Structures are given as C-alpha cells and as structure tokens.
Amino acid sequence: MNNKLLIILLTFLCAAMSFSVMAQNKKRHITPVQNANTRTQSINEGSADTARINAAIRARSTHYHNDRGQVVYVDTITGVQWVDSMAFLPLKKMKYPLLQSASAGLNLWDPIMRAFGQKYGLADIHLSVSLHNRYRPAIVMGLGQALRRSDIPHYTYRSPLSVFFKIGCEYNFLFNSNPDYQFYAGAYYGVTPFSFSVDDFKVDSDYWGSDVTGSIPSQKCLAGYYELVAGLRVKLIGPISAGWTFKFHGVAHCSKKDGGEPWYIPGYGAKGRSITGAFSIYYTVDLSRFNHNKASTDGHDTTE
C-alpha cells in the first residue's frame, strides 16, 4: 500500500517537473509581435521630441556662413533658413588674410625719458606678425642699463648692460578696418638675467661720531615680469608707423639676494612703478602675397 502511494507521488512529481521545463522552454521561444502598431509606436512616441525633429531637419539640410560669420542652415525640402543659436560666439568675417604683415619697431621711450632725467633704460626692438590684421604675436629683445647717483641718501647704483626678452600677443580691435590705424591690447611676459651693485653708500652715525661707507658687490639676479598693454598705432608715411603704448606691469619673480632688492630690472624699469609707456617707430612689410588663398570680399573667409 505504502509502495503504491510512493509510486503515485513520484509520478505526480515527475509530471509537475516536466510541465515546468516545458513552460520555460515555451517562454524562451516567444517571437515578437510585428504589426502596424508596433512599427509606428516609436515614431508616434517621438513625434513631439524636438531634439529628434531638429536632428532630422539638420540631416536633410545644408548650411553656409553669412556676412556676420554666423552658420545659417537651409532646409533643402522646405527652403526654411535658420541660424544656429548654439553658436554663441560667431566668428566675424576676416577681411584680411592670415599672413597680413610683419613689422619691426624700435622703442624710443627710454632714450626720450633719459633726455628728461630718467636714470635707466636703453632701447628695444619689437618684432611681430599680424594675422588677419587681428592677432599679433610678438617678441621683444632689448638692452637695459642703469646708473643712479643719489646724494641723500648717498649711494651710486649700477646695473651694467643686460639683455631682456619678452614674448606676448596683441589683439587689434580694429581688425576689419584700415590697418593704418590700430587700437590694440595685449599681454607680455618678460625675463632678464642681470646684475647690480651699489658703491660708495654712506650710513650716518650721529652717536658714534663717524659716517661709515660701504659697497655691495655685484649681485646676479634673474627676474620675470608681466605686462598688460594697450596702445594705438598710426601710419605716418609709407611703411613707417608710430605707436604709443600704456603698460601696466608687475614683477612675477625675482631671485633673492643677500645684498638687497634690485631697483632696476632691464625691460621692466624701476621697481615700485606699476605704470609706464612705450613709444615706437615701426617698419611694416606686407605679407599678403605669401597667402595661398586671397581673402575674398564676399563674406567667406578662405584663409582659415
């Protein structure tokens, strides 16, 4: 009796397991339903999605650059035109070619100021290339020297002839105007190895009754400084132009010395003065013939 019950239970168990396996196999082999509704479902759901709509319109459109440098899309089906509002910094048309001109300038500021009593500075030359009459990378090389004799307090400060270099870039705000007139701003970094010495300085000693003299031997320094400039340049005659520049500058680094702080830094001027200037005479050479493609005047920049 017991054996019969056991056999019946095992039979039911095997039957249940076989049904379960069959059910699982059936689920795995369900094929997706393909009908008209399922085929249009994603289209209907995305019908209000502007991102999909715009992507579809862009896909069937072409574009061009208008006179203001904006990207204008044209729907080739409907003929509708629109400006890409995401291009928030539209590039202005470049009227002048990439290689527009090169110029070399001689800064006469320090020689002029020395004639009026300045105790430092010599001269520098400024070499630059004008790109599109807009950007002007430049290097400056010059020589500086200082000699200051002071009676009160008594000392003689000497900084022998030293070279300095500056590298920077200027931006001409009137880039689509006549290059004979330029209004620009820029930034430079300068570096100079130099030395200074102080001779014959006198320290009063009223109490001990004798003045003591001393000297500071040559102190070798390396200094770096920055300049923020703004200026004007106007054509005088032919390739000759004149430019004057206001400079705001500061010392970025200067090596510490036992003998003290340098008073004069070549190319920078006297420490402690944050504003200075430059007055240069430039000779400019036209470089437009070196461009492969001339800049057109129909609103398209062909030199980029």
Partner 1 sequence: MSRKVKYTAAAILCTALLSGCNSGGCLDNQSALPKAQLYNSQGEAISVDSLQIRGVGAPGDSVLEQGRLSTFYLPMRSDAGVTSWEVAYLRKEQNPTGVCDTIEFSYRSIPYFESADCGATFRYLVTQVNTTHHFIEDVVMTDSLITNVDRTYINIILRTADEQ
> What residues have CB less than 8 Å from 171, skipping those under 6 apart?
134, 135, 136, 184, 185, 186
Q: Which two tokens stand for residue 110?
A: 């320090």
Of positions 234, 240, 252, 285, contacts partner 1 by CB under 8 A = 234
- By CB under 8 A, residue 218 contacts partner 1: no
Under 8 Å between Cβ of 190 and 225: yes
Q: Tell me which stretch binds partner 1 (CB under 8 A): 32-40, 88-96, 200-208, 294-302.
A: 200-208
Nearest to 219 by CA among 192, 250, 270, 256: 256
Q: Tell me which stretch binds partner 1 (CB under 8 A): 11-19, 70-78, 193-201, 291-299.
A: 193-201
DSSP 17-64: HHHHHHHHHHHHTPPPP--HHHHHHHHHHTTT-HHHHHHHHHHTEEEE
H/E stretch holding 138: strand 135-150
Contacts of partner 1 in 241-270 (CB under 8 A): 242, 244, 246, 258-263, 269-270
Of positions 13, 16, 80, 212, contacts partner 1 by CB under 8 A = 212
Residue 134 or 166: the one with the smaller Cβ distance to partner 1 is: 166
**What is the per-residue binding string for partner 1 in 77-116, x denoting contact by CB under 8 A?**
--------------------------------x--xx--x
Residue type, 236: L
- By CB under 8 A, residue 167 contacts partner 1: no
Q: Tell me which stretch binds partner 1 (CB under 8 A): 17-25, 39-47, 153-161, 289-297.
A: 153-161
> Rounded to the nearest 5°, which phi and psi values hold at 206?
-60, -40
Binding residues vs partner 1 (CB under 8 A): 109, 112-113, 116, 148, 150, 153-155, 157, 196, 198, 201, 203-205, 207-210, 212, 214-216, 232, 234, 236, 242, 244, 246, 258-263, 269-277, 279
